[in-house]
Amino acid sequence: MKLSRRTLLQLAVGAIVLPAVRGTAYALDYPTRPVRIFVGFPPGLSPDIIARLVGQRLSERLGQSVIVENRPGAGSNIAAETVVNAAPDGYTLLSAATSNAINSTLYPDLKVDFLRDVAPVAIVASGGFVLVVNPSFPVETLPEFIAYAKANPGKLNMAATGKGTTPQLAGELFKMTTGIDWVHVPYRGGYLSDLLGAQVQAAFPAVASSIEYIRDGKLRALAVTSATRVDALPNIPAVAEFLPGYEASTWYGLVAPKNTSAEIIEKLNKEINAVVADPSIRARLVGLGLEPVSLTPADFGKIIADSTVKWAKVIRAANIRPD
């Protein structure tokens, strides 16, 4: 049977459209089972807080359980490898942070190339760190802290979780800017008990993980590392008020394995952005000293790339090597 030119064109268009329709249907069917979010840090740290805060509301929107699983170790690389090696079907996500971008430079023999091997899904928030000291430490302000450090080179202990973590790099950038010297004390786990007990004097934790201790008077906040003050700590100055140009912040978001379908990425991005836009979630994030952020996957990818470049310069200048 000879087909008319119009019929052939209609069949050709149908052949092009059908896969797209199928792909859309596949995305609309997602998810049909629980979604797992892996966290590369112990419970209570900012990536864990973000994952649990978003995961609960995301579960309600998706109609499926969202399970948060902590897989700490190797500067969050264990969790990242777990996600990268998972099936790209949208059921395995990583609660990612700036530390994942940092690891691209910090670890020369990584099995994972974060920029190459993940698909950005959605950014959730950004935030700075806060320079805190034990209340027994004899300084009340940032200028006093700098003066003390300069008068006592090498005698101040600065705690951080591991080497090359974002809080440590915030501290290294501070050192480079002020010209002071201190002893970096890396912890494989949490250092909070030692900081509260005055075994170490200072640290640059994320605002989200330290704000309750600051409010309770168990830690003294001297300055935040974001470009400006944060709403959750309005009376605490930004480092930049004393050291113009200084800024150290981090982002938090969710990524998926590379080759996850665009339809699933778009659906997750839409739902996560809706979660972040919820007034109660925004209030929780702001209360933790974070700035809620909603972007497209492409714009989130640019943030990941830019932070990789920024912190690579600090790592090389300070000659930081992993544990």
pTM, 2 dp: 0.79
Q: Measured between alpha carbons, how far is 95 from 69 in angstroms, rounded to an integer? A: 10
Check residue 20 and give its pLDDT: 40
Q: Is the pLDDT of residue 22 over 90?
A: no
- Name, in order, each residue with C-beta under 8 angstroms of 85's C-beta and a sequence gap of 6 or more: 257
Q: Is the pLDDT of residue 10 over 50?
A: no
* Residue ranges of E strands in the chain: 35-39, 66-70, 92-97, 118-128, 130-133, 157-161, 183-187, 202-203, 220-224, 249-257, 290-292
CATH number corresponding to 130-241: 3.40.190.10
Q: Which two tokens stand for residue 127?
A: 């935030």
Backbone angles phi, psi at 248, to 5 degrees: -145, 110
Contact by Cβ (8 Å): 110, 103: yes
Q: Which two tokens stand for residue 249?
A: 């912040």
Check residue 289 and give its pLDDT: 84
Q: What is the pLDDT of residues 144-191, one digit of tens each?
A: 999 999 999 999 999 987 778 888 899 999 999 999 999 989 887 779
Considering only residues 224 and 21, tell me which one the structure prediction assigns the higher pLDDT.
224
Q: What is the pLDDT of residues 23-67, one digit of tens each?
A: 444 446 899 999 999 999 889 888 999 999 999 999 999 999 999
Q: Measured between alpha carbons, how far is 303 from 268 in angstroms, rounded to an integer? A: 18
Q: Measured between alpha carbons, how far is 233 from 107 in angstroms, rounded to an integer? A: 34
Burial (CB < 10 A; 0-12, 13-18, 19+), residue 197, is: exposed
Pairing relationship of beta strands 130-133 and 220-224 according to DSSP bridges: antiparallel
Contact by Cβ (8 Å): 157, 200: yes
Pairing relationship of beta strands 202-203 and 92-97 according to DSSP bridges: unpaired
Contact by Cβ (8 Å): 46, 206: yes
Asked whether the domain spanning 130-241 has the same topology as the one spanning 33-125+251-317, the reply is yes
Question: So where are the chain's domains?
Answer: 33-125+251-317, 130-241
> Domain 33-125+251-317 is classified in which CATH homologous superfamily?
Bordetella uptake gene, domain 1 (3.40.190.150)
Residue 112 confidence class, pLDDT cut points 50, 70, 90: confident
